[in-house]
Structure 1
Amino acid sequence: MKYHEVKPCTALESHIHAFWELNGDESACKWERIFPDGCPGMVINLGAPCKTDNGSAVMEHGKTYVVGTMTSFKDSLIDSDTHLLGVCLKPAVFSSFYTYAPQNELTNNTVEFDLGLSFDFGKIMSDPVPYLNSFFSTRKRDKHAPLQSVLTDIHQSKGRYSISVLAKRNHTTVRQLERDFKTHIGVTPKEYSAIIRFQAALSLLNTANHKRNLAAVAFECGFYDHAHLSNEMKRRTGLAPSQF
């Protein structure tokens, strides 16, 4: 399997993490697993039909899909004829490009786009990165995506602020914050914070020279104890912490 990423143009860096491409090879025919990171995405299938969402959905050749925010792991079957091209959006930016649906309707799902909203297959095959930069630059309506100050607080605290503290810091109410997250991100602010806390723990566990035990990682990342961390890792990844 071959995978690589390309950064978007400067004008899109506030809204898009990266464009990515995945190609299967002759040795490939296995389920590949990705973990939740709080980001939605878009995918166009340039190859053979590809099973995703743990086998419950199929991405067909030539069609464009939106991938909602994930709360748990997602497996896709990659074989020699797989060719996917995708966009990793930043949190809460989907509404800057599309008026499609509240994001909670897309959570944990891969949904086919209407043809009029999809990528142009011929143009994306010809010159993908310039096409994607032009496509999203043309559609971008907002200089700043919604909820950015709240998201900054969550990321800087690694998900450890309570929702009441987040609301107070950002001069809003808990109820309004929950409505905004439902619309623009697809999960509650509490769930999003938990995903960011999980990602912080995952980063520590994946550090090659990390010598601290599981209890120390749990304490550093704001979990009650190592059992709490273990349960969270299992729920988000399907794996025990010892498997990282």
Structure 2
Amino acid sequence: MKYKETNPCNQLRSHIHSFWELQGEENDRVWERIFPDGCPGLVMNLGDSCITDNGSVTMEHGKTYLVGAMTTFKESFMDEHTHLIGVCLKPSAFSSFYSYVSLNDLKNQTVLFDQNLSFDKDKFNGENHTDYLNQFFIGRKNSKKHRIVSLLKHIQNSMGSLSIEELSKSNNISVRQLERIFKDSIGLTPKEYSSIVRFQKALNLIKSPRKGRSLLDIAFECGYYDHSHLTNEIKQKTGRIPSQL
């Protein structure tokens, strides 16, 4: 399987993590598992029909799908006829390009996207799609500043350890209003997003082992109560235990 990831232009880097392309190769027949990262995305299917969301959704050729933020893993079936183009948005970026629905309705969902708001399939005939995607999103970008951006930075800077009450107090906003802003803007509650930030930190540490650092050390470093708490969180979000990652 061939996977290629490219960075957006400087104008878009505060809104988009990356553009990516995935193509199947001969004899590929595998369920690919992805883990939650708190980010929504857009996927256009240029290949044959592709089964995703653990078998519950079929992405059809030539259509674009909106992928909501995930709180647990999902699997997609890939074979030699798979060809997907995708955009990984930053958590709060969707509303900078689209006025659509509350992203809370799309949590853990993959839904057909309005084709009038989507990409031009014919623009993907060449080798390099990055220029077209940069131009597409620059053309859609609005200049509105969203309060959610600073709220997300507070959580990211604390690596998910900041309590919701602390976040509420430091931003002079009620917990109830905080919940609404998060659900509408990124499709997750503050607690869910904090959990994903903390999980991603732990995942990176587990995948980059350091001599003398145990799983218990990682648990404490990432703010988990103990070894079991971390293991249960990993299992919930990946379907695997730490030693299988």
Please report the TM-score for the alignment, with normalisation by the length of structure 1.
0.97
Count of residues in Structure 1 that have an aligned counterpart in Structure 2: 244
3-state SS of 1:160 partner: coil
Q: Which residue of 2 aligns with 1:148?
A: 149
Rounded Cα–Cα distance in structure 2 between residues aligned with 1:97 and 1:91: 13
The verdict on how the C-alpha distance between 1:99 and 1:181 changes in structure 2, with shifts beyond 3 A counting, is same
Rounded Cα–Cα distance in structure 1 between residues aligned with 2:217 and 2:143: 41
Q: Which residue of 2 aligns with 1:222?
A: 223
The range that moved more, 110-119 or 154-163, is 110-119
One-letter amino acid of the structure 1 residue matched with residue 57 of structure 2? A
Cα deviations across residues 13-45 of structure 1 (Å, max 9, x unaligned)? 110011000011113110001100000000000
Kindly state the Cα deviation for residue 212 of structure 1 after the two structures are TM-superposed: 1.6
Rounded Cα–Cα distance in structure 2 between residues aligned with 1:34 and 1:5: 15
Please say if residues 15 and 145 of structure 1, whose CA atoms lie closer than 8 Å, have aligned partners that are also in contact.
no
The verdict on how the C-alpha distance between 1:87 and 1:146 changes in structure 2, with shifts beyond 3 A counting, is farther
The verdict on how the C-alpha distance between 1:147 and 1:9 changes in structure 2, with shifts beyond 3 A counting, is same
Q: Which residue of 2 aligns with 1:240?
A: 241
Rounded Cα–Cα distance in structure 1 between residues aligned with 2:239 and 2:211: 22
One-letter amino acid of the structure 2 residue matched with residue 237 of structure 1? T
Q: Which residue of 2 aligns with 1:134?
A: 135
3-state SS of 1:200 partner: helix
Runs of at least 5 residues in structure 1 that lack an aligned partner in the other structure: none
Q: Which residue of 1 aligns with 2:17?
A: 17
Q: Which residue of 1 aligns with 2:179?
A: 178
The verdict on how the C-alpha distance between 1:45 and 1:210 changes in structure 2, with shifts beyond 3 A counting, is farther
One-letter amino acid of the structure 1 residue matched with residue 112 of structure 2? E
For 1:8-157, what aligned pairs fall within 5 Å after superposition? 8-126=8-126, 127-142=128-143, 144-157=145-158
Please say if residues 36 and 69 of structure 1, whose CA atoms lie closer than 8 Å, have aligned partners that are also in contact.
yes
The verdict on how the C-alpha distance between 1:83 and 1:213 changes in structure 2, with shifts beyond 3 A counting, is same
Q: CA RMSD in A?
A: 1.2
Please say if residues 14 and 144 of structure 1, whose CA atoms lie closer than 8 Å, have aligned partners that are also in contact.
no
The range that moved more, 79-88 or 123-132, is 123-132
Rounded Cα–Cα distance in structure 1 between residues aligned with 2:27 and 2:166: 50
Please say if residues 6 and 20 of structure 1, whose CA atoms lie closer than 8 Å, have aligned partners that are also in contact.
yes
Percent of residue pairs identical: 58
Runs of at least 5 residues in structure 2 that lack an aligned partner in the other structure: none
Moved over 6 A (4+): none
The range that moved more, 134-143 or 216-225, is 134-143
One-letter amino acid of the structure 2 residue matched with residue 60 of structure 1? E
Kindly state the Cα deviation for residue 85 of structure 1 after the two structures are TM-superposed: 0.4
Kindly state the Cα deviation for residue 137 of structure 1 after the two structures are TM-superposed: 0.5
